[in-house]
Structure 1
Amino acid sequence: MAGVVRMVQGSVFRRSITLSYGKNVRIISTSKKNRETVSVAEPTDKSETTESTIVSKKNWVSYGYDFKRQEDDTNAMHSTFFFSITLCIVFGGFVFTYYPDVLLRDWAQREAYLELRRREAQGLPPIDRNLIDPQKIVLPSDEELADTDIII
């Protein structure tokens, strides 16, 4: 939202310059104000100096890890990004990519191809109709099924 407001304000400002001068004018700021910093008066008595009164001399925006000390904030940010990006994403992706096939999917597929090749060489169908001996299959009788719908 702030970007839209800045865009609108900038276009209005440019129109006013164009109208007043009659041509497009580009304004370039050569001010050194971007290097100026806000300083806080520190206590002159050394005994009153505490961690909360020590403020960085530069304009410092916290990364959100520590709001009082810039060094601790920066170290926490760097270690967080190191562990999350380097260890989790990079190393985790490497482990995931090169982890062995624990479910043996590749082995099962190779065995299936070998079995198909063997059955074709012997002139048998790819899957035998009587893969399980029909004598070993126990089916319920019609009385046990009663009104049960059978979908084939």
Structure 2
Amino acid sequence: MAVFLRRSALYRAFNLNKSLRLSCVNISTTKKNKEVPSTTISDTGVSKPPVTAADFADTKPRYWMSYGYSETDYTMDRDYHHLVMFFGVTFMLGLGFIMMYIPDFRDLDWTEREAYLRLERREKLGLPKIDRNLVDPSRLTLPSEEELEGVEIIL
């Protein structure tokens, strides 16, 4: 029974949607201009078509936008742009790959591994991570109390 109720509700919903669509009419408030636009073409505005092969040769490129290297010479502007882009991209990508895959010549990886190994060894022996007397105190020369009297010490 519920299936029939659902089907009839769906059917009514679809029909209601169609009836609402048909009852709506779009109204335009703009004034309709029924005149056909026309224009006159003068004979002076039309150029002569090319006749010889030299006329067909396009000596000056139309719609040319400069790349910024030369505002007057099309070929120089295009050639400089291609050179700069080629060498710029080549050097940047080449240097990027070289820098990423260059061997570790300063042994930064080795020093980090060695530091972790020494920390692990000191922890196993029960020693502090950093020794208080890393530098022998007899080798240090500290100023006396009289020399430090007027100096502000910031920690």
Q: Could you tell me the TM-score, scaled by structure 2's length?
A: 0.53
Asked whether 1:148 is paired with 2:145, we answer no
Asked whether 1:19 is paired with 2:30, we answer yes
* Residue 63 of structure 1: how far off its partner (Å): 2.5
Which has the higher relative contact order, 1 or 2, with Cα contacts under 8 A spaced 6 or more apart? 1
Please give the residue correspondences for 1:58-77 in structure 2 after superposition, counting only pairs within 5 Å: 58-77=62-81
Tell me the matched-pair count.
Answer: 106
Q: Distance in 2 between matches of 1:141 and 1:80?
A: 65
Structure 2 spans left out of the alignment, 5+ residues: 1-28, 34-46, 49-57
Higher helix share: 1
- Given candidates 121, 126, 131, the residue that maps to 1:128 is 131
* Residue 67 of structure 1: how far off its partner (Å): 4.1
Structure 1 spans left out of the alignment, 5+ residues: 1-17, 23-37, 40-53
- In the alignment, which residue of structure 2 is the partner of 1:82? 86
1:81-139 deviation line (CA, Å, top 9, x unaligned): 1112x223212222232234455432321121111112122221111121122222222
Matching residue's letter, 1:60: W
Q: Could you tell me the TM-score, scaled by structure 1's length?
A: 0.54
1:144 is paired with a residue whose SS is coil
- Given candidates 93, 98, 101, the residue that maps to 1:95 is 98
- Given candidates 60, 73, 76, the residue that maps to 1:56 is 60
Q: Distance in 2 between matches of 1:106 and 1:138?
A: 35
Instruction: Select between 57-66 and 110-119 the one with higher mean Cα deviation.
Output: 57-66
